[in-house]
Structure 1
Amino acid sequence: MEAARDTMIEQQVRTWNVFDDRVLDVMRQVHREVFAPGYGELAHMDAPIPLPHGQTMLPAKLHGRILQSLAVDSNDMVLEVGTGSGYLSACLSRLAARVRSLEIIPELAALAKTNLLAVAANNVAVELADALQLQEQSAYDAIAVTGSLPIYDERFQQALRIGGRMFIVVGQAPVMEAWKVTRTGEREWQHESLFETIIDPLINAPRPSTFVF
Structure 2
Amino acid sequence: MLKLEDSYSHKGQRKALVKTLENKGIMDKKVLNAIGTIPRHFFFDSALHSHAYDDKAFPIGEGQTISQPFTVAFQTELLNVQPGDKVLEIGTGSGYQAAILYLLGAEVHSIEYNKKLYQRTKKFLPKIGININFYQGDGSLGLPEQAPFDKIIVTAGAPVVPNSLLKQLKIGGILVIPVGDRKTQKMMKFIKKTAKQVSQESYSNFAFVPLLGKEGWE
Quote how far apart the aligned CAs of 1:152 are.
2.7
Distance 2:100 2:26 in 1: 15
CA shift digits 1:90-146 (9 cap, x unpaired): 110111341000001121112212331122112x11111111233629510011100
Partner of 1:210: none
Partner of 2:7: none
Alignment of 1:1-213 (within 5 A): 1-11=10-20, 13-38=21-46, 39-122=48-131, 124-134=132-142, 136=144, 139-172=148-181, 175-204=184-213, 205-206=216-217
CA shift digits 1:138-159 (9 cap, x unpaired): 5100111000112332211111
SS at match of 1:51: strand
* C-alpha contact (below 8 Å) 2:186/2:204 kept by paired residues: yes
* Structure 2 alignment gaps of length 5 or more: 1-9
Distance 1:110 1:41 in 2: 26
Q: Output the amino acid matched with 1:55.
A: Q
Aligned-residue Cα RMSD (Å) equals 1.7
CA shift digits 1:22-57 (9 cap, x unpaired): 000111111111111322131111221111111101
* Structure 1 alignment gaps of length 5 or more: 208-213
Quote how far apart the aligned CAs of 1:174 are.
5.2
* C-alpha contact (below 8 Å) 1:100/1:125 kept by paired residues: yes
**Greater Cα offset, 197-206 or 135-144:** 135-144
* C-alpha contact (below 8 Å) 2:182/2:209 kept by paired residues: no
* C-alpha contact (below 8 Å) 1:143/1:160 kept by paired residues: yes
* C-alpha contact (below 8 Å) 1:78/1:96 kept by paired residues: no
TM-score (norm 1): 0.90
* C-alpha contact (below 8 Å) 1:63/1:88 kept by paired residues: yes
Quote how far apart the aligned CAs of 1:206 are.
3.2
SS at match of 2:52: helix
Quote how far apart the aligned CAs of 1:173 are.
5.1
Counting matched residue pairs gives: 205
Distance 2:210 2:15 in 1: 30
Q: Output the amino acid matched with 1:186.
A: A
TM-score (norm 2): 0.88
Quote how far apart the aligned CAs of 1:16 are.
2.5
Residues 176 and 157 of structure 1: CA distance in aligned 2, closer, same or farther (over 3 Å) = same
Distance 1:165 1:85 in 2: 23
Q: Output the amino acid matched with 1:93.
A: Y
